[in-house]
A and B are shown apart, each in its own frame.
Chain A
Amino acid sequence: MNKGSVSQILLITDGCSNQGEDPVAVSRHIVSTGVSVNVIGVLDDDQTEEPIGLREVNEIAEAGKGVSRIVYADDLSETMQMVTQQAMTQTIQGYVNQELKSILGDETNEEALPPETRGEVQEVMEDLSETVDLNMVILVDTSASMQTKMSAVKEALDDLMISLDARQGQFMYTVYQFPTRKQVVKLLLDWTDDGKRIAKVFPKFAVGGITPTGSALREAAKAFHISEQDDVMRGAAYDVIDPSYRSSS
């Protein structure tokens, strides 16, 4: 098998939600539709420890079978690349372990195999994570406190595109921001495979005091369904590798 697709949401935020739905519950719902939720929490330069508000970041990702990291703006570039990659690997690992169980019995997972066989399984997983199509919704928190970190976010997303462009599998992404004055989320860039376009959509920002993270997640996740109908995103219709398989390891 070398065709299939992985769907992810990447949420970039710097604080806890203070309005609307519970983002952890929303995240749990989203993963049941075959989409994993990854979260990057951005710290202020003068924050020396993880603020309590940012704990939510880990909880959202855990509920969404995704990966989370809390970092300073300067470390964003390498973090985004790592989170995206790791989340994809996790989804595929979960999928492969599930397949192994169905072939070899309930107690089997990759680690129960002898090191030699494990090496072969690893190669299959590496092949898969290089060749599967990746569909990603990028959701950026643009509330007032994020303003100073925006240029770092922009740089990091631009850098992420360089990594994703280098993969063999197809890559499609769309960008949303929240909050905005009238809507919960605003579409900044519709589904595209052109990594260069992300740099151009970024100057337009609204500022808001509220952070309705849960509602924003729910709205942004709809992008995966819209595109199925529009047939814009070719990957979504077949062989979605479901992240909810992921083992707890």
Chain B
Amino acid sequence: MMSSIHPTVRLANGTKINGLWHKRQYQIKQLLGEGARGSTYLVEASGKKVALKISRDPSVVTAEANILKKLQRAQSISLGPSLIDVDDGYLPNRMKQSFYVMEYVQGKPMTTLVGKLSLVDLGRLMSRLLSELHQLHSMSYIFGDLKLDNMIFDDSLKRIRLVDVGGVTQVGRGIREYTSIYDRGFWRLGGRKAEPTYDLFALAICLMHAERPLKFDSNGQQQILWRFLSSSKRITPFQQVIKQALLGKYRDALHMKRDVDQVVQHLIRSRPVQQRTTKVNNRRISERDLITLSGMVAFNGFMIYILL
């Protein structure tokens, strides 16, 4: 797209930025990403790796920093990186620019992981994310621009973390930051008013990507979604959950989580039986798999015991 003003700021590796208000120094290490609202860099500050977001539009910096501050009050580490600093600094071209500094979230991008994870693992991650979304919704905020590109699988914490908070919107207001394919307005399946169902719709689209990347027509025909869903193979166990979320049938994130959990439980229960038959027919199942399997059967039995 051509536009008159680009919010991105290009900085060479090694560039140093000095904060004018809080006097901290940041050294650019690497570009992490560029978007419609600015650029994010990996930077070093007193020997530590952190992420710095800078934009030609100072209101982007202020608005996102505001949101990060609010999310910190939720004390949920999945909902966004923690905010470290907000400041202005002079760039090598002598322009003054606003920026904020946040925790550097390391991990694998969900865009590639979503097709590789087992359905059980994917379901568990989504279930966890739904709890955290519910927490956000309870604070009267909607994530807005929920999509795989904004999700990182944090290896050390074993959970999904959301990294771009530009779309976070107060409940009842209009959503301004969204990505067509994840936006229910685009598919004419609802409006852009910020409400829990808006996020749940986007999460359903994320789940659909576990089948294969969703390609779409420029005018967002609903039938494309339904056809994709009904012809899906890998994500069949989640078909009903996805359908309900697309239609806005889940009142809140916890209702959707309950159904996701049920699917996960069902998958775990049915897995040993399926794999036992495979074992007989082909001998490729390793000993390690068997140990995991028997562990899972035991765990399952244990869970059933607890539940009963």
Interface residues of A (CB under 8 A from B): 50, 58, 61, 67-72, 74-75, 77-79, 81-82, 85, 89, 93, 110-111, 114-116, 118-119, 121-123, 125-126, 130, 152, 155, 159, 162-168
CB-contact partner of A166 in B4, B65, B186, B193, under 8 A = B193
Residues of chain B within 8 A (CB-CB) of A162 are 185, 191-192
CB-contact partner of A163 in B3, B174, B180, under 8 A = B174
Contact, CB under 8 Å: B174 / A168: yes
Contact, CB under 8 Å: B192 / A115: no
CB-contact partner of A85 in B86, B96, B176, B185, under 8 A = B176
10 contacts between A and B (CB under 8 A): A69-B2, A72-B1, A110-B59, A122-B66, A155-B218, A155-B219, A159-B186, A162-B191, A166-B192, A168-B172
Residues of chain B within 8 A (CB-CB) of A121 are 62
- In whole angstroms, how far apart are the Cα atoms of A71 and B87 in the complex? 34
Given A115-B88, A130-B173, A167-B174, decide whether A159 and B185 contact each other with a Cβ distance below 8 A.
yes
Contact, CB under 8 Å: B63 / A126: yes
Q: How many residues of B contact A (CB 8 A)?
A: 32
- In whole angstroms, how far apart are the Cα atoms of A125 and B98 in the complex? 18
A15 → B minimal CB distance (Å):
16
Chain A's closest residue to B173 (CB) is: A130
Contact, CB under 8 Å: A71 / B175: no
Given A126-B63, A159-B185, decide whether A69 and B3 contact each other with a Cβ distance below 8 A.
yes
CB-contact partner of A114 in B1, B3, B21, B191, under 8 A = B21
A75 → B minimal CB distance (Å):
5
CB-contact partner of A50 in B2, B59, B175, B193, under 8 A = B2
In chain B, residues 171-211, which have Cβ atoms closer than 8 Å to a Cβ of chain A? Answer: 172-176, 180, 185-186, 191-194
In chain B, residues 1-33, which have Cβ atoms closer than 8 Å to a Cβ of chain A? Answer: 1-4, 21
B274 → A minimal CB distance (Å):
44
Contact, CB under 8 Å: B58 / A111: yes
Residues of chain A within 8 A (CB-CB) of B63 are 122, 126
Contact, CB under 8 Å: B21 / A115: yes
Chain B's closest residue to A57 (CB) is: B4
Residues of chain B within 8 A (CB-CB) of A58 are 4
B39 → A minimal CB distance (Å):
18
CB-contact partner of B62 in A69, A115, A130, under 8 A = A115
- In whole angstroms, how far apart are the Cα atoms of A116 and B98 in the complex? 12
Contact, CB under 8 Å: A122 / B62: yes
The 4 closest A-B pairs by CB, nearest first: A166-B174, A166-B192, A162-B185, A115-B86
Residues of chain B within 8 A (CB-CB) of A122 are 59, 62-63, 66
A174 → B minimal CB distance (Å):
21
In chain B, residues 203-249, which have Cβ atoms closer than 8 Å to a Cβ of chain A? Answer: 218-219
- In whole angstroms, how far apart are the Cα atoms of A123 and B175 in the complex? 16
Residues of chain B within 8 A (CB-CB) of A130 are 173-174
